[in-house]
A and B are shown apart, each in its own frame.
Chain A
Amino acid sequence: MSNNKNIATPDGRQDVLIIGAGPAGVAAGIGAKKEGAENVVVLERDWDLGGILQQCIHPGFGLRTFREELTGPEYMHRFIKEAHEVGVEFRTNTMVFQIDKENNSVWTMNKERGIECLNPKSIVLTMGCRERPLGAIRIPGTRPSGIYTAGTAQRFVNMEGYMPGKRAVILGSGDIGLIMARRMIWEGAEVEGVYEVMSWPGGLRRNIAQCLDDYGIPFHLKTTVTKIHGADRLEGVTVAEVDDKMTPIKGTERFIECDTLLLAIGLIPENELSRMAGIEIHPVTGGPVVNDLLQTSNPAVFAAGNVVIVYDLVDNVSDEGLIAGANAAKFAAGKISPDIKKIPVKGGQNVRLFSPQFITGEKDTIIYMRVTHPIEGACKVTAEPGLYTQRLRYARPGEMNEARIKASAVKANPNLKEIIVDVQPI
């Protein structure tokens, strides 16, 4: 199944070449085929399809898309099955190590094929994101074994069947950290607590409830790890409360004995290839600047999923993948005009990041955003001038907000110069 015959177009070029077979890439493949592209190829560096969802064996995926609760592999399976049915070609164990910005050539490496150079008509970037490592936060002390990002530990436990330790402290409250706290308990380890430097949780409220509260795992806000102890294997960490400037408060330090420190301190879009390809990267999202067609600053290159902006839900990632794939197919067929209208989107006072950054008005679209400060009470999401208003019960940085923009509303206002999205209390 996984090796469909390569139906090359007469000139041997792929119509749409997709980099990464995670949820965004597989959906992009489906989107491109359904839009009529002939030769659609997805490159994947791992030996199997599905990206990081392969190791997400907990339920909670697909509530929006399928209206049922699936595990990561189950969710992926449905998309992979459809991709095979519509004729998407997958190449696994294939690493893209270079994209030439002059001509969009894509260089790949594979055991059987060796090193190859592909010249697709359009490209979709779906490389996903990676975890912020320990080096990103500079904690004093030693560097013993037993310190892992939550995702690395998740791979060891869920895919290799090995335990990284017996008593863990979790630093940061991103969703993978919360999920791993529960997993460690399920596998018989202890979790001393979860420590978050901010005054609000990094992950989804539902994960705090289902992964920490249900197992009595203490959750400490405005507290962080200030020192690491142990020469060979981790022996413990010092934690301390922090003030409003995030400086540790003297006298609040406490030593905790543990053999494992898991880090869930944020995710960063994986854009080394995008930079190589000369694509404009947004300084705040860390992903390519895109319009609502998910087209980057290079018109032949599209991008979707966590490589653009880190989403909360895989359902959003798949939705964006379908859109990017379909538009890449249109581009390959010469159906996207080079002088397409672009209205810039701007973030209001309480919006830290958002995507897309430009609206064409070609279709209905969703602007995804995260608030800077939480609002614990009635508030509303707006897209001005008068394009969208939605009341909310609360708004939190750990949970994305959406503004749904109608193409008709954009078209009805020919003088539209910019769109401002914001979330403010009522």
Chain B
Amino acid sequence: MEKRKELAKNDPAYAQIVCRCETVTEGQVLEAIRRGARTISAVKMMTRAGTGRCQGGFCCPRVAEILSRELNIPLDEITRHGGNSKLLVGKTKEFLLEKGAE
């Protein structure tokens, strides 16, 4: 508790919850990215975000957004564990247009 209070005081990102099940803060996710995490799995291993009772149901979209923002890459380029394990396959409207063109 004291450590949480201290961290939250110095950097508000440590008082912003990303993973509600394991009480992982945005500060912890940012720290993991600074230390080299590039995928959802890496963030999970380093912070416990996504290891709790909902298994990433709530935090997966949030962690993906933070990765996308911090690494400056589009959301649909974020992978679960590298390689071809992309989370998303494109934007909704693009997707419909593509189909219409076929």
A-B contact pairs, 23 of them (CB 8 A): A95-B23, A109-B4, A109-B25, A113-B15, A114-B12, A115-B1, A130-B58, A131-B57, A145-B85, A152-B60, A161-B91, A162-B91, A163-B90, A163-B91, A165-B89, A187-B95, A188-B92, A188-B96, A188-B98, A233-B85, A233-B86, A272-B21, A272-B53
Chain A residues near B87: list those with CB within 8 A: 145, 156, 164
How many A-B residue pairs lie within 8 Å, measured between CB atoms?
Answer: 113
Interface of A: prevailing SS: mixed
Which A residues from 198 to 230 make CB contacts under 8 A with B? none
Chain B residues near A155: list those with CB within 8 A.
61
CB pair B91 A109 closer than 8 Å: no
* B88 close to A (CB within 8 Å): yes
Asked whether, in the complex, the Cβ of A130 is within 8 Å of the Cβ of B85, the reply is no
- CB atoms of A164 and B8 under 8 A apart: no
Q: Chain B residue with minimal CB distance to A234? A: B85
Q: Could you say which of B8, B53, B55, B83 contacts A115, with CB atoms under 8 Å apart?
A: B8
A134 within 8 A of B: yes
Encode A231-262 as 1/0 by CB contact (under 8 A) with B.
11100000000000000000000000001000
Is B80 an interface residue when CB atoms closer than 8 A count as contact? yes
B72 within 8 A of A: no
Check B99 for interface membership: any CB of A closer than 8 A. Answer: yes
Taken residue by residue from 33 to 65, chain A's Cβ proximity to chain B (1 for < 8 Å, 0 otherwise) reads as 000000000000100000000000000000000
Interface residues of B (CB under 8 A from A): 1, 4-5, 8-9, 12-13, 15-17, 20-21, 23, 25, 53-58, 60-61, 65, 75-76, 79-93, 95-96, 98-100
CA distance A294 to B38 in the complex (A): 46
Contact B88 A114 (CB under 8 A): no
A157 in contact with B9 given A109-B17, A149-B57 (CB within 8 Å): no
Residues from chain A with Cβ under 8 Å of B15 in the complex = 109-111, 113-115
A interface list, Cβ under 8 A from B? 45, 93, 95, 97, 109-115, 130-131, 133-135, 144-145, 148-149, 151-152, 155-157, 160-166, 187-189, 231-233, 259, 272
- Can you name the residue of chain A whose Cβ is closest to the Cβ of B60? A152
Do A115 and B4 form a contact, CB below 8 Å, given A45-B17, A188-B99? yes
Contact B57 A151 (CB under 8 A): yes
Instruction: Give the distance to chain A from B7, nearest Cβ to Cβ, in Å.
Output: 10
- Kindly report which residue of chain A lies nearest to residue B21, judged by CB atoms: A272
Contacts of B82 in A (CB 8 A): 232
Q: Considering residues A112, A114, A148, A259, which has the most beta carbons from chain B within 10 angstroms of its beta carbon?
A: A114
Q: Tell me which residues across on chain A come within 8 A of B1, comparing CB atoms.
A: 115
Q: Could you say which residues of chain B place their CB within 8 Å of the CB of A151?
A: 57
- A132 CB, nearest partner CB in chain B, Å: 9
- Interfacial chain A residues near B93, Cβ < 8 Å: 161
Q: Report which of B8, B57, B83, B96 forms a contact with A187, defined as CB distance below 8 A.
A: B96
Inter-chain contact B92/A114, CB cutoff 8 Å: no
* Contact call A109/B8, Cβ cutoff below 8 A: yes
Check if A156 sits within 8 Å of B88, measured CB to CB: yes
Distance (whole angstroms) from the CB of A160 to the closest CB of chain B: 6
Nearest CB in chain A: distance from B68 CB, A:
10
In whole angstroms, how far apart are the Cα atoms of A164 and B78 in the complex? 12
Asked whether, in the complex, the Cβ of A130 is within 8 Å of the Cβ of B53, the reply is yes
The answer to whether B96 touches A131, judged by C-beta atoms less than 8 angstroms apart, is no
CB distance from A421 to the nearest CB of B (A): 30
From the candidates B16, B79, B91, name the one contacting A111 in the complex (CB within 8 A): B16
Contact call B55/A166, Cβ cutoff below 8 A: no
Looking at B12, B88, B99, B100, the one whose CB has the most chain A CB atoms below 10 A away is: B88
Q: Which residues of A contact B95 (CB under 8 A)?
A: 163, 166, 187-189
- Find the A residue at minimum CB distance from B84: A232
Q: In whole angstroms, how far apart are the Cα atoms of A188 and B96 in the complex? A: 5
> With a CB–CB cut-off of 8 A, which chain A residues contact B53?
130, 133, 272
Q: Is the pair A115, B57 in contact by a Cβ cutoff of 8 Å? A: no
Residues on A with C-beta less than 8 A from B5 are 114-115
Tell me the bound Cα distance from A160 to B87 in angstroms.
Answer: 13
